[in-house]
Amino acid sequence: MDFVRNFPFISIILSLFSGPLSSILSGKWAKRINTAVIAVIGVMSACVLAYVAGTGEEFIYYMGHFPAPWGNEIRVGELEAFMAVFFCIIMLLCMLGGMKERLTQIEESKQNLYYIMVNLLLCSLLALIYTNDLFTAYVFVEINTISACGLIMIRQNGRTFEAAIRYMIMSLLGSGLLLLGLCFLYSVTGHLLMSNIQQQVRLLTAMGEYHIPLMVALCLMSVGLAIKSALYPFHSWLPDAYGYSTVSSAAILSSLVSKGYIFLLIKIFYRVIGFDIICESKVIHVLYVFGIMGMIMGSVSAIREDNIRRMIAYSSVAQVGYIYMGLGLGTEAGVVASIYHVLSHAATKSLLFVAASGLTDASGGSVRFKDLRGAGYRHKLAGIAFMVGSLSMVGLPMFSGFISKLLFSQEAVGHTHKMLPTLIALAVSTVLNAVYFMKTVISIYMPPGEEVELAESRNIAMREQPGKSVALVCFIILNLIMGLNSEPIIHLIETGLGMFR
């Protein structure tokens, strides 16, 4: 069974090399390879998860059997393995759901490029999840950025170019700040390996030295990753990037890419600096305040939106706000709630993007609300799926969104200072969510207005888009599982976080 220990490394390498391989293949074969790679990695990660859960402790894998500081380290715990499995599932479903759009929206000669990007993205996500080395993390953050830009830009119209360039600039700013922070840490501690840095940081804090440089490094890294994951004041790149790119890109970007950075930040909190030191610092309060602002402002912007894709995109800003708010609570249970929300949001947001694309298909490709009237009847499964996603976002019991909201509020109740703002922000944001999501649900079930050209909108049967139908059904099931049977997942997150220490 010890062979399983190689799997994380093999999955990273597999996805890394399937990228270049795709460049010499045709689009069709690139797609097959891509699907196979994601599936295989998913299965391997599941094996790793089973192995880690079986042994009950994390393991460290030395690449090439060179111990650090010469070799590179991969660290695998329960949470990491679970994240890898989950990301693979979501990615597979996103790719499945956007299959038809990719065929029409991407030029014939560039089909295989898309799969290169996806493979590289998966590789970098896995590396971000598994790595135990800050510099490796930085390298893969850059790979992630580049491939994400490619995913946005590959649907070639003016808006996506602009969006990609904006994303590139903001993202590079983010990685730049991360790099700066990393350099600070390196020069203060003399290490790049997470566990070594933590030892040194503990030592330095105990001696009371280098307090300010450490805090500066922490700030830089937090802000850098916050920019990349679209925390509220740094979210300006997001609506265009999610709103105009092809649907599988939007779904992957919103549910996986930003979540990868958040996971890295959590790792930095726990494994690089040490969670208790983080909690004593003021950084956590800043993240908390930004998170709360994001929860409200994201929803407000979403309400004003007339375009269903951009509305969902803005809702992501609000949801990322939730996650940072949970981190900002500065307790272990708050982080558990945040991670649960990462999962729940990943499952729901990609569902919404895929469902919305189904609805727009049935409305002659228009994304305006007035054209979407009655779309729920024209594409039935997409209508139901969109409703499920909306209800989950609003936080109705039975769906995953409710559980994360409950976890947040349960945790907030125990807090002395942050209790009231958290609960009020949750309440306001819930109501705002209800405003725009239920408005959309009602409008897709309204009889169409007269101004809609009947020729453009047409009925779409489930059989017509098998990939999307399967993806939607799976997403709905995933949401229900996370809403009704959340206990094992929460438990897993808790033990996984326990292994972080």
Partner 1 sequence: MNPWILLSVALPSVAGILLLAVSFGEYIRGSEKAFTRGVQVYTAAALALSASVSLYTAWQGEKECSLFEWLDGILVYFRIDALGRLMVTAVSIAWLLIGFYSLAYMGHEGKETRYFGFYLLLYGILTGLSFSGNLVTMYFFYELMTLVSMPLVLHSGSREAVMAALKYLFYSMCGAYCGLFGMVFLYRYCHTLDFTAGGALNLAAVQGHEGILLTAVFVMILGFGAKAGMLPLHSWLPAAHPVAPSPASALLSGTIVKFGALAVIRTVYYVVGPGFLRGTWVQYVWMVLALLTVFMGSLLAYREPVLKKRLAYSTVSQVSYILFGISLLVPDAVEGALLHMVVHAFVKCGLFLTAGVFIYRFGYTRVDRLGGLGRKMPVTLWCYTVFALALTGIPPTGGFVSKWYLAEGALQSGIPVFSWLGPVVLLVSALLTAGYLFPVTIKGFFPGEEKDPGNGAKEEPSPLMLIPLMVLAALALLLGIMPNPLIRYISQITLEVFS
Residues that bind partner 1 (CB under 8 A): 377, 380, 391, 394, 396-398, 403, 406, 409-410, 413-414, 423, 426-427, 430-431, 434-435, 438-439, 442, 446-447, 484, 486-487, 490
Q: How far is the CB of 83 from partner 1 (least distance, A)?
A: 22
Q: Which is nearer to partner 1, 29 or 377 (CB)?
A: 377
| CB closer to partner 1, 215 vs 428 | 428
* Cβ closest to partner 1, residue 350 vs residue 430: 430
Which CB, 13 or 398, lies closer to partner 1? 398
Distance CA 121, CA 24 (A): 18
DSSP label of 131: B
Name residues whose C-beta falls within 8 Å of residue 416's C-beta, 6 or more positions apart in sequence.
Answer: none
CB of 463 to partner 1, least distance (A): 14
Q: 436-442 long-range CB contacts below 8 Å, 24 or more apart?
A: 436/299, 436/302, 436/303, 436/305, 436/311, 436/315, 437/315, 437/390, 437/391, 437/393, 437/394, 438/390, 438/394, 439/369, 440/308, 440/311, 440/369, 440/372, 440/386, 440/390, 441/376, 441/386, 441/387, 441/390
Q: Which is nearer to partner 1, 13 or 492 (CB)?
A: 492
Residue (of 373, 489, 470) closest to 35 by Cα position: 470
User: With respect to partner 1, which residue has the nearer C-beta, 300 or 490?
Assistant: 490
Query: Please, which residue, 174 or 321, has the CB nearer to partner 1?
Result: 321
Cβ of residue 305: shortest distance to partner 1, in angstroms?
Answer: 17
From the CB of 423, what's the least distance to partner 1, in Å? Answer: 6
Distance (Å, whole) CA 317 – CA 291: 9
Residue 283 structure tokens: 């950084």
- The strand pairing partners of 307, in sequence order, are 368
d(CA 400, CA 119): 28
Query: 442 is written with which tokens?
Result: 């009602």
> At its nearest, how many Å lie between partner 1 and the CB of residue 426?
8
Q: Least Å distance between CB 410 and partner 1?
A: 5
Residue 401 beta carbon to partner 1: minimum distance, rounded to whole angstroms: 12
Phi, psi of 366 (to 5 degrees): -85, 145
- CB of 491 vs partner 1, minimal distance in Å: 9
Q: Which residue blocks in 268-307 are alpha helix, DSSP H? A: 275-280, 283-304
Q: State both tokens at 424.
A: 């009020």
Report the nearest approach of partner 1 to the CB of residue 81 (Å).
Answer: 23
413 or 477: whose CB is closer to partner 1?
413
Task: Determine the Cα–Cα distance for residues 483 and 497; give it in Å rounded to an integer.
Answer: 21
Nearest alpha-carbon partner for 240 in 145, 370, 362, 153: 153
> In this complex, which beta carbon is closest to partner 1, that of residue 116 or of residue 407?
407
Determine the Cα–Cα distance for residues 129 and 137; give it in Å rounded to an integer: 9
By C-beta, is 40 or 434 nearer to partner 1?
434
* Least gap, CB of 421 to partner 1 (angstroms): 13
Contacts of 238 (CB under 8 A, 6+ apart): 230, 313, 314, 316, 317
Return d(Cα 324, Cα 290) in angstroms, integer: 8
